[in-house]
Amino acid sequence: MDTDLQDKYDQHLGNLIKQLPNSKYTFEVTKCCNYSTFVLVNKRATLLELYKEVSIWFECKTIKELYIVSSETNEKHTIPMTDVVQLKDYIREQHMKPIYPVPNNVVYRIYLEDGHSHEHVH
């Protein structure tokens, strides 16, 4: 490939990655088997759209539950499947905290229960 073309591609890709935190929340979605991956969701999304994005990413048509675990009490809180609550409001109300330290971009952890059973679950 032409090096000028490769440099242009690399520049565009770098700019895209730098701009993502302006318009997207990053969630580290963790399954009960401890597999996890980043899922990006529009900052203007509702909780229902969060469910949709996770469903698409994991190719899972039947999400049983998305939930968070409180860092203070270690309690599990199911994320409601609703289009009435904005994602930004839910993050604020639940006092969700980034899981990676500064200077990393903000990433929140949520858990996915997809109904599959795993032998090595703790």
Tokens of 38: 């980043």
Tokens of 109: 């952890």
| Domain housing 49 | 22-113
Residue 83 lies in a domain: yes
Residue 58 lies in a domain: yes
- pLDDT grade for 119, boundaries at 50, 70 and 90: very low
Cα-Cα-Cα-Cα dihedral sign, residues 66, 53, 45, 29: positive
Cα-Cα-Cα-Cα dihedral sign, residues 50, 54, 56, 61: negative
Tokens of 69: 């675990």
Residue 118 lies in a domain: no
d(CA 102, CA 87): 22
* Position 116 pLDDT exceeds 90: no
Q: Taking the model in full, what pTM does it have?
A: 0.85
Residue 15 lies in a domain: no
Residue 36 lies in a domain: yes
The CATH number of residue 73's host domain is 3.10.20.90
Residue 9 lies in a domain: no
pLDDT tens column, 45-59: 999 999 999 999 998
- 36: left (phi > 0), else alpha (psi -120 to 50), else beta? beta
* Position 77 pLDDT exceeds 90: yes
* Position 97 pLDDT exceeds 50: yes
Q: Count of domains in the chain? A: 1
What is the number of other CB atoms lying within 10 angstroms of the CB of residue 97? Answer: 11
For residue 76, report the phi and psi dihedrals to the nearest 5 degrees: -85, 135
Residue 4 lies in a domain: no
Residue 11 lies in a domain: no
